[in-house]
Amino acid sequence: MMVKRVGITAIIMAFLFVTIGLAMAGEKANARKGKYLFRKTCRTCHIEGGSAKELSPVSKTQAQWQRVFDKVDQLKCKDEWAKLSEKDTLDVYAHLHGHAFDSPSPAKCK
């Protein structure tokens, strides 16, 4: 009886570790790809001395990035965004929002 219960607990624990592990790996991969996409797609213009004002994750708070992504169609550069797939846009969001000024790990993208 006791042995059986320990076995079930072990199975549940293993399942939880795998699920949480996969979720975390997925999130990291997205933000990393988002960083690459941001550099490749956005920083061509949004860089010091570029054609638009410099932008990096710390340029905005998480709430401000949220607003940007909610209203992309109001941006001057919405046609540039349209070149990204939905998945790519989510990856860029993961990078910008995840490393925003008021996030736990703010990052300046150089």
Q: Positive or negative, the Cα torsion across 53, 47, 94, 82?
A: positive
Place of tokens 């709430």: 63
Identify the residue among 36, 58, 80, 90 touching ligand HEC (CB under 6 A). Answer: 80
Q: How far is the CB of 21 from ligand HEC (least distance, A)?
A: 30
- Looking at the Cβ atoms of 8 and 108, the one nearer to ligand HEC is 108
CA nearest neighbour of 65 among 25, 35, 26, 99: 99
For the chain, give the number of residues: 110
Decide if residue 47 touches ligand HEC (CB under 6 A): no
Identify the residue among 55, 94, 100, 109 touching ligand HEC (CB under 6 A). Answer: 55
Q: Using CB under 6 A, which of the segments 6-14, 17-25, 45-53, 100-108 binds ligand HEC?
A: 45-53
Distance between CA 53 and CA 43 in Å, rounded?
A: 10
CA nearest neighbour of 95 among 31, 46, 38, 37: 31
Q: How far is the CB of 11 from ligand HEC (least distance, A)?
A: 44
Q: Identity (one letter) of the amino acid at 50?
A: G
Residues that bind ligand HEC (CB under 6 A): 41-42, 44-46, 51-53, 55, 68, 75-77, 80-81, 84, 92
